[in-house]
Amino acid sequence: MNDIVILCGGIGSRLQAVVSDRPKPMAQMGDRSFLDILIIHAASYGYKRFILCTGYKQGFIRDYYQDKFRDLEIIISEESSPLGTAGAVKNAQRFIKSNMFFAMNGDSFCQLDYNDFMSFHKDKNAFISIALVLKENISEYGRVLIDESSRIISFSEKIKSEDSGLINGGVYIFNQSVFDHIPQMIQYSIEYDLFPKILDKDIYGYIKTGKFIDIGTPERYKQAKDYLCSFL
């Protein structure tokens, strides 16, 4: 089975007005944490091995998951200084056993069928696959453009446009060969550093996704609680 890497290291400065005592992915959703919901959703498709990339207040996550899920393998990959999203994945390389693995943001929920997403990745023989979401207003998310074969031809983060379009859903499938393109032990971003430099590779967008929610602001955190507490 494929490993799932979850990026949990960010500070979440915009959310600290309402979530200040813990890392952003550990924000409460009823009687669960947001990170619990991400893990449970992925595990419902049969995935059992999760690698949590921690940074800010990482002891909170380590202690919480020490004995949390008896039927899952939870591994903590700690960073001593901020490494960015790609840097955190690189730092977790020693823990990743599967040749193809998922990586996902720990502060957003993208409803998708993980098995179908993996089948898409294999069918395309993709170097990287990215879950894409159709959004009515992309001003806070940027835009991803694909061609008729679903190959990504343009990847722009945080553009000032209120148009509708496809956005990055924050769930990826990587092959182990991606590590050849990520520097060791420096701050490096998946979105800003890695993707723009490898668009000549076979990178495909998977758009059969459902609900997308991120908890980056107090307003969106409230919306997430209202939806996700009834979802699971």
Written as six digits, the tokens of 166 are 């496809």
**Smallest Cα–Cα separation from 33: which of 215, 219, 218?**
215
Domains annotated on the chain, with CATH: 4-231 (3.90.550.10)
53 vs 50: CA distance, rounded Å: 10
With tokens 């993208």, the residue in question is 110
How would you write the pLDDT of the chain (232 residues) with one tens digit per residue?
Answer: 999 999 998 876 777 767 777 889 998 888 899 999 999 999 999 999 999 999 989 999 999 999 889 899 999 999 999 999 999 999 999 999 999 999 999 999 999 999 999 999 999 999 999 999 998 888 778 789 999 999 999 987 666 666 888 999 999 999 999 999 999 989 999 999 999 899 899 999 999 988 899 888 888 888 888 887 765 5
Residue-level pLDDT at 159: 64
Residue-level pLDDT at 78: 96
Residue-level pLDDT at 86: 97
SS3 125: coil
8 vs 108: CA distance, rounded Å: 11
DSSP code, position 93? G
Written as six digits, the tokens of 83 are 């490494």
**Smallest Cα–Cα separation from 43: which of 90, 6, 88, 97?**
6
Do the Cβ atoms of 207 and 113 come closer than 8 Å?
no
Written as six digits, the tokens of 109 are 């929920």
Burial class (CB in 10 A: 0-12, 13-18, 19+), 184: exposed
Residue-level pLDDT at 160: 67
Written as six digits, the tokens of 129 are 């696959």
Do the Cβ atoms of 93 and 180 come closer than 8 Å?
no
Residue-level pLDDT at 230: 66
Residue-level pLDDT at 232: 56
DSSP for 9-56?
Answer: ----GGGTTT--SS-GGG-EETTEEHHHHHHHHHHTTT--EEEEEE-T
